[in-house]
Chains A and B, each alone.
Chain A
Amino acid sequence: MTPRTFSESEYCHLKRVSCIKFHPTKPHLVAMSMIEYLKFSERAAITGKSFDSNVLIMNFSDSHIITLSHVLETPIEISTIEFHPENPNVIIGGCLNGQTIIWDISCIDLRVTASKKSSGEDQFGGDGEDFTAASAEVDDKQ
C-alpha cells in the first residue's frame, strides 16, 4: 500500500492544516481547515486581523485522483471544525478570534461558482445580496 498524495497550489500553498474531520455519513469526504504557516512573533503582530482563509472538503471516492468537492470561504482563520451529526451538510467552525462560523454546503444561494469568482466587480452586487440575507438571519438568531 503506497500513500496517495494530494498537491494543490491555490489553497494549500504555504499553509498548515489545523483540523481534519471525516464526514459522518459519507466516509470518502474529508474536511480540513487551512491556516497560514506563521511563527509566533508573526502571528502576534497580526492577531485580531481578518484575512481570507479556506476550509477544503476533499473527495477520496476515486481511487486514483483526489478531488476538491467544496471550498468553504471564511473571513477569519479556522482552528477547529465539526460536522453536524444529524444534518452533515451543516459544518461548524471555530475561528482563531473566538467566533463560531456555520456553513451549509447544501445551500445553493451561498454557492460561489468558479466563473462568478473570477469575473470582478460586476458580479459583486449579487454576492452582496447574499451577504445581506445571511446577516438578516444573524439578526433573527440574536
Chain B
Amino acid sequence: MKNLTYSNINVSHKNFVGDIVFIPPTINVDKRAPSEGKYTHFISISEDGIVNIWDTRPVSKE
C-alpha cells in the first residue's frame, strides 16, 4: 500500500514528529471556513518546538 500524499518539506517540521491529534469538530479553528461538525484539522507537534495545525480539506484554486 503506497501513501496518498505527504506534506511539503518546506512547511513541515524540522525534527521528528512527536504526536498527531485530531481537533474535535466543536472547536472552531478557521474563522473563514468553519468545520461544520466534521474533523477537518489536526495538530502535529515536534521536537523542534513548533506546533503545526493542518487543514485536511482540499484547497480550492482561484
Contacts and interface: CB of A to CB of B under 8 A. Distances in A.
Interface of A: 70-74, 79-82, 84-86, 92-105, 107, 110-112, 127, 130-131, 134-135, 137-138, 140-142
Interface string B15-59: 111111110000000000000001100101010100010101011
A97 B47 CA distance: 10
A100 B59 contact: no
B7 A99 contact: yes
Given A73-B1, A131-B2, A138 B17 contact: no
Nearest to B22: A85
B50 to A, nearest CB: 9
Contacts of B2: 73, 103, 110-112, 127, 130-131, 134
Contacts of B7: 99-101
23 contacts: A70-B1, A72-B1, A80-B20, A82-B42, A84-B22, A84-B56, A93-B20, A95-B6, A97-B9, A99-B6, A99-B7, A99-B13, A100-B17, A102-B3, A105-B1, A110-B4, A127-B2, A134-B3, A134-B4, A138-B5, A138-B6, A141-B58, A141-B59
